[in-house]
Each structure stands twice: as structure tokens, then as C-alpha cells.
């Protein structure tokens, strides 16, 4: 059993959906993100390092910028 099976908790003011992130595509159909994009290479991992915990907003915004995803507040915040 993996240590990261069902953990995706963020502060109440943040909306985060793994489904939205993992299904975002470029115009040619390639996926914009993979698990390793945020969590590093965990394929052979035996611990939860870089899996659990909160992402700092700056890291999210850097990724949005790199992948041409909007950084408008309402994308992630209610």
C-alpha cells in the first residue's frame, strides 16, 4: 500500500483538484502535467516525502505560468 493513496488536503481557501490538473491538455492532446511534475519521481519511492503537505502558492503559480494556465485568483480560490 502506497503512503500517498488518498491525501490531497489544502487550506479551506484553496480549491485543488487532482482530476483537473491531471487531465489538462495542450492543444495537440499531450497532457500538461504528470505526477512527477509536483511530487518528483516517486515510482520507486518507499516513503511519503514530497507527497504530503501543502504546496506554497508561489510554486503553484510558477507551474501555472510554465504551462500557460491562468493565475487568476478564482482559478484556485473561492
Q: What are the helix (H) ranges across 24-56?
A: 35-39
CB atoms within 10 A of CB 21: 19
pLDDT greater at residue 9 or residue 74 = 74
12-29 pLDDT, tens digit each: 788 877 788 888 888 999
Q: How far is residue 8's CA from residue 21's CA, in Å, rounded to a whole number?
A: 12
Is 70 exceeded by the pLDDT of residue 34? Answer: yes
Is 60 exceeded by the pLDDT of residue 4? Answer: no
The owner of cell 502558492 is 57
Is 90 exceeded by the pLDDT of residue 72? Answer: yes
Amino acid at each position: 500500500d502506497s503512503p500517498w493513496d488518498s491525501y490531497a488536503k489544502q487550506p479551506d481557501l484553496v480549491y485543488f483538484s487532482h482530476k483537473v490538473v491531471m487531465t489538462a491538455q495542450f492543444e495537440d492532446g499531450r497532457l500538461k502535467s504528470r505526477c512527477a511534475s509536483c511530487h518528483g519521481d516517486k515510482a520507486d519511492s518507499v516513503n511519503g516525502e514530497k507527497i504530503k503537505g501543502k504546496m506554497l502558492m508561489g510554486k503553484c503559480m510558477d507551474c501555472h505560468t510554465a504551462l500557460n494556465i491562468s493565475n487568476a485568483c478564482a482559478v484556485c480560490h473561492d
